[in-house]
Structure 1
Amino acid sequence: MNPNDIDLIRNARKGSTEAFTAIVRNYKNFVYRTVFAILQNRQDTEDVAQEVFIKAYRSLAGLRDERTFPSWLAQIATRTALDWVQSKQKNQTIELDSEKFVVNDDIHRAANIRLDLENALGHLSEEHRMVTVLRADGFDYEEIAQILDIPIGTVRSRLHNARMHLRQLLQDERGDNE
Structure 2
Amino acid sequence: MSESTLHSMHEKRRRTEALIQAHRPALLKIARRLCGTSGMDPEDLVQETLERALVHFERLEDKGVEAREAWLGATLTNRFLDHCRRRKTEARAQQTLGAVQEQETSLEGAAREAWERVPDAAFQEAINRLDEKHRSAYVLHAQGHKYQAISRQLGVPMGTVATWLYQARGRLKQLLTPLVSGEGKEQEAGWQ
Range into which the TM-score falls when normalised by the shorter chain: 0.3 to 0.5
Greater radius of gyration (CA): 2
TM-score (norm 2): 0.34
TM-score (norm 1): 0.36
